[in-house]
């Protein structure tokens, strides 16, 4: 059993953002007994990750620390035409991920208690971001 759809997220400010509810609301998992959700971002200056779903300070600290590890204006950057935040955005995207995959059981994403899905927006003026959501799994056995 396969289903696939796109989900376009409204523009968000630079930083790390919880998108668990937006993704969950776009899916119907009621008929998946066992399976995997695959989330793919079709961009190279924004990324996906899974991290703590409660404290906003975690999301702020992630943004601040990635800015330390991947600063703007490094003298060796040659890809600078699209602004000082562009090349760091590409590097951060590869340090994080273009995909998330989450197991499904009995119609429910098997996230841990503290896990949330994140959009990592690395551009200072990012636009809408398109995700491709693919669910594959097994339907409950007929009674």
Residue from 74, 108, 124, 125 that binds a copy of itself (CB under 8 A)? 74
Q: Does 108 bind a copy of itself (CB under 8 A)?
A: no
Whole-angstrom distance, CA of residue 49 vs CA of residue 72: 22
Q: Does 8 bind a copy of itself (CB under 8 A)?
A: no
* CB 46, CB 122: distance < 8 Å: yes
Please state the closest distance from residue 24 (CB atom) to a copy of itself, in A: 16
Binding mask 24-63 for a copy of itself (x = CB under 8 A): ---------xxxx-x-xxxxx----xxxx--x-xx-xxx-
Whole-angstrom distance, CA of residue 139 vs CA of residue 86: 43
Torsion sign over Cα 40, 26, 120, 109 = negative
Please state the closest distance from residue 25 (CB atom) to a copy of itself, in A: 19
| Cα 89-7-5 angle, rounded to 5 deg | 125
| Cα 22-24-26 angle, rounded to 5 deg | 70
Six token digits for residue 40:
């793919």
Q: Does 100 bind a copy of itself (CB under 8 A)?
A: yes
Question: What are the residues binding a copy of itself (CB under 8 A)?
Answer: 2-4, 33-36, 38, 40-44, 49-52, 55, 57-58, 60-62, 64-65, 68-70, 74, 76-79, 87, 90-91, 93-103, 105, 110-115, 118, 130, 132, 134, 136-138
């Amino acid at each position: 059993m396969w289903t696939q759809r796109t989900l376009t997220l409204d523009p968000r400010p630079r930083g790390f953002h919880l998108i668990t509810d937006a993704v969950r609301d776009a899916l119907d998992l009621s008929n998946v007994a066992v399976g995997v959700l695959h989330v793919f971002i079709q961009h190279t200056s924004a990324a996906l990750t899974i991290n703590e779903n409660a404290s906003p300070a975690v999301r702020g600290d992630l943004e601040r620390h990635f800015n330390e590890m991947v600063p703007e204006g490094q003298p060796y950057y040659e890809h600078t035409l699209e602004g000082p935040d562009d090349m760091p955005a590409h590097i951060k995207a590869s340090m994080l991920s273009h995909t998330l995959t989450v197991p499904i059981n009995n119609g429910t994403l098997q996230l841990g208690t503290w896990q949330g899905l994140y959009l990592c927006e690395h551009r200072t003026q990012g636009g809408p971001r398109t995700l491709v959501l693919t669910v594959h799994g097994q339907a409950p056995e007929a009674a």
